[in-house]
Amino acid sequence: MALRHLSEDCQRGLAEVMVRRTFAPGEMIFIEGEQALGIWFVLSGRVRILKHSSTGRSQALCITQSGKCFGTCPLFSTENNPASAQALDEVTLLVLPDDQTTALMQENPCLVKTLLQLYSERLDQLARLSECLAMWTVAHRLNDCLLNHAVPESPYPVVHLTHEKLAELAGTVREVASRHLEKLAEHGVVELHSGYLYIIQPLQLQ
């Protein structure tokens, strides 16, 4: 968990005010532009963070898994959510309410440092995403997404993403992602299944 390095007193203070929430697969956790409720921590499941354009196209920024957090941007930059969050699986979350955060940071300076570090990590992630979208080919971006979301499993690493969700992460459309995956499958690099795939051979990133 992202807060495991905090003191026991600070962790107890957080536990007293955090609220447990559960969401079904596909359910929206919060919407871009709405007032932020707080900082969210993932206990189980996966959460997709995404932006919507004025034309209705979606760009997935990342997928956050168990032990990670999201929703830190409003803490330092704006009162509204800069992106939307959606449950990919059955997820269990803990939310640190926004109205409790300021008081807790005043009582526990170590919490400020930890939250700033989490915020910095998110900015680094967004900077890398910007670089990939601007400088990498679509094929390389798709391969990078496959590697980043592969889970070690016997006999091969598995990626639990549909073609559509993979396309959103790579900044392309489903048809392009499907053609690329079919080409990889023809060369024996991946093995395609409904809703997931196996990585059989090393993927090329350059």
What is the tally of helices (H) and strands (E) in the chain? Answer: 7, 12
CB atoms within 10 A of CB 28: 11
Q: Are 83 and 48 in contact (CB under 8 A)?
A: no
| Greater pLDDT, 101 or 89 | 89
CA distances from 1 to 16, 68, 92, 113, 197 (A): 17, 6, 13, 16, 28
Q: What is the per-residue pLDDT across 134-185, written as a single tens digit (0 to 9) for each?
A: 788 999 999 999 998 999 988 899 999 999 999 988 989 999 999 999 999 9
Average pLDDT over residues 70-79: 73
Q: Interhelix angle for 174-186 vs 138-148, to 10°?
A: 80
Q: Is residue 92 scored above 50 in pLDDT?
A: yes
Sign of CA dihedral 70, 95, 80, 112: negative
pLDDT attached to residue 206: 47
CB atoms within 10 A of CB 21: 14
**Distance between CA atoms of 71 and 77, rounded to whole angstroms?**
11
Its pTM stands at 0.73
Domains in the chain, CATH or no CATH each: 8-134 (2.60.120.10), 137-199 (1.10.10.10)
Q: What is the per-residue pLDDT across 106-141, written as a single tens digit (0 to 9) for each?
A: 777 777 777 777 777 777 777 778 777 778 899 999
Beta carbons within 8 Å of 187's beta carbon, 6+ residues apart: 201
**Distance between CA atoms of 49 and 30, rounded to whole angstroms?**
10
pLDDT attached to residue 196: 93
What is the layout of strands, in order, in the sheet containing 190-193?
150-151, 158-159, 196-199, 190-193
